[in-house]
Amino acid sequence: MYELTLILSLMMGGADSTAEMEVNTQFTTLEQCNEEGAALAKKLNATDLKVIQVQCERD
């Protein structure tokens, strides 16, 4: 199983910060995890958040 984590760039109080967001979903293949990560990154990048990294790790 694979676990998806997104690293986000945030603007907080006028300063750039980063945050880690774990997606509470298990994926059976690395390909599924990467595809879902790319789709979520695209949605989040359309908002004020900027995804700077998508990570898929074995759980």
Q: Using one digit for the tens of pLDDT, what is the confidence trace for 6-59?
A: 999 987 777 888 899 998 889 999 999 999 999 999 999 998 889 999 999 998
What is the pLDDT confidence band of residue 4, given thresholds at 50, 70 and 90? very high
Please state which CATH class domain 2-58 belongs to. alpha beta
pLDDT of residue 16: 82
pLDDT of residue 2: 96
Considering the entire predicted model, what is its pTM?
Answer: 0.82
Six-digit token string for 18: 């980063």
pLDDT of residue 11: 75
Sequence-distant (≥ 6) Cβ neighbours of residue 28 within 8 angstroms = 1, 2
Domain edges within the chain: 2-58
